Amino acid sequence: MNSHKYDDEQRKQEVDEYAQKRQSLAKFEVVPSEWEWTGGVDFDAVFPHECYKQALLYSLGSTRHGHTLVHGTTSLDLGGHAWVELPGEIVFDGVFQRFYRRDAYYGDMAHAIPWYFYDEAAVSFLSRHFKHDPGSWPAMLDLPTIADRPPININLGYAKELLDAYYVRSGEVVLKKLSKEVLLGLAQRREIEATRSTTKTDLITLILQGRKSVT
């Protein structure tokens, strides 16, 4: 058996297993009262091991406001997990492409434990700057490890602080890949005196040294 055929068969088996798991959770499903919440949802599909990707896609693609992207863990044998909270005490799970009662999702259905809550503005901002798997966001942003502590709320302001700190920690190699506009914004938020006439090289030097102006 060639590896490609093996991968296809393994994928099919996983899809079948997740579809069966979804069926076992059907009693917890709900349908959002506003049809816009269901836009882009593929009710015929399941996406094994794609919770972070699917939750992010749903958050970015939603035509309604008031949702929150959540990273945490569940008892659904999915490991670290991601989901989206909606108004009306509803949770969207991108792996199963279904909506569930929030009380059930955090209760007997999945025993979900949230670690990080990202509001809509933070999700949009971070997704524009990070092209990595969103599951890596907590590690890259150096978020505190959740251990007997309340979940952490990340709004736009906090997201900017975290991203700026990531850029500075990453050093010159990463900063060189950023556009001048992004560097200027970073300098401004760090209260570093710089103008559009400041060269990109000087901007990077200022950011890394934390100086206020070019000498």
What are the pLDDT digits (tens) for 108-129? 999 999 999 999 999 999 999 8
pLDDT, mean of residues 5-16: 85
- Answer yes or no: do 26 and 132 share one domain: yes
Residues ≥6 apart with Cβ < 8 Å to 215? none
41 contacts 58 by C-beta, under 8 angstroms: yes
The pTM score is 0.87
Domain count, the chain: 2
- Answer yes or no: do 180 and 83 share one domain: no
- Answer yes or no: do 179 and 157 share one domain: no
- Answer yes or no: do 161 and 176 share one domain: no
Tell me which residue has tokens 């005490």.
89
Residues ≥6 apart with Cβ < 8 Å to 51? 78, 81, 82, 83, 93, 94, 95, 135
The Cα 96–Cα 42 span in angstroms is: 9
- Answer yes or no: do 97 and 176 share one domain: no
Residues ≥6 apart with Cβ < 8 Å to 20? none
- Answer yes or no: do 164 and 192 share one domain: no
71 contacts 82 by C-beta, under 8 angstroms: yes
- Answer yes or no: do 77 and 176 share one domain: no
Give me the phi and psi of 137, to 5 degrees please. Answer: -55, -50
- Answer yes or no: do 127 and 200 share one domain: no
- Answer yes or no: do 177 and 160 share one domain: no
Among 135, 155, 170, the domain-final residue is: 170
Among 138, 155, 170, the domain-final residue is: 170
Owning domain of residue 147 = 3-170
Partners of 153 in the β-ladder: 117
Find the radius of gyration of the CA atoms of the chain: 21
State percent of the chain over pLDDT 70: 94
- Answer yes or no: do 211 and 105 share one domain: no
Tell me which residue has tokens 């890394």.
208
- Answer yes or no: do 7 and 89 share one domain: yes
What tens digit of pLDDT does each residue of 155-186 get? 999 999 999 999 989 899 999 999 999 999 99
pLDDT at 214 over 50: no
- Answer yes or no: do 145 and 191 share one domain: no
